[in-house]
Amino acid sequence: MTTSTGHHRPEPSTTAAERDMLDGWLDYHRATLLWKCEGLADEQLRRAVLAPSELSLLGLVRHMAEVERYWFREIMLGEELPDLYCTPEDRDGDFHFGDEATWADAERVWRTEVEAARQAAAGRSLDLESRAESHRRGEVFSLRWVYTHMIEEYARHNGHADLLREQLDGATGE
């Protein structure tokens, strides 16, 4: 599917096998987040327009880079990686930034983490259990669970992105 602004969003198959279905839906939601950011200036992307919320489109992209990194690499593969934006003092650092934060930087980091997540999942069974436990819950997770959670995470935040975009410039879309 090509959006009204020319952005390509891959439609998930309606009949694919489980793995292809999960990959398709995750890629669809990843592309949706980029679409919601398309064509906006850095200042617009940084703006939190739904007070008192600190949510911004730039913050959502930075947040999803953190989430991709955490679930696919830190939890599934057991890699010990520093957070990209968050710190022990500021657990919401992905949403806290100054005027120096740019779309180009956020998109580059997000694309890097998406590609690393794809590589982390490639060729692995959906039944594979994570090498690390969740930092919050102390549980292990199957790769299937991680895919499902990532689809849920993107879907929820894409709903936020819909509202943010509409407030910024009136653009709406599915």
**In sequence order, which residues have a C-beta less than 8 Å from that of residue 79 and are 6 or more positions away?**
73
Q: Are residues 145 and 125 in contact, defined by beta-carbon separation less than 8 angstroms?
A: no
**Tens of pLDDT, residues 6-36:** 557 889 989 999 999 999 999 999 999 999 9
pTM: 0.93
* Percentage of the residues of the chain whose pLDDT score is greater than 90: 89
pLDDT value for 60: 98
pLDDT single digits (tens) 63-102: 999 999 999 999 999 999 999 999 999 999 999 999 999 9
pLDDT for residue 53 is more than 90: yes
Tell me, what's the pLDDT at 137? 81
Assign 4 a pLDDT band (cuts: 50, 70, 90): very low
Secondary structure (H, E, C), the chain: CECCCCCECCCCCCCCCHHHHHHHHHHHHHHHHHHHHCCCCHHHHHCCCCCCCCCCHHHHHHHHHHHHHHHHHHHHCCCCCCCCCCCCCCCCHHHCCCCCCCHHHHHHHHHHHHHHHHHHHCCCCCCCECCCCCCCCCCCCEHHHHHHHHHHHHHHHHHHHHHHHHHHHCCCCC
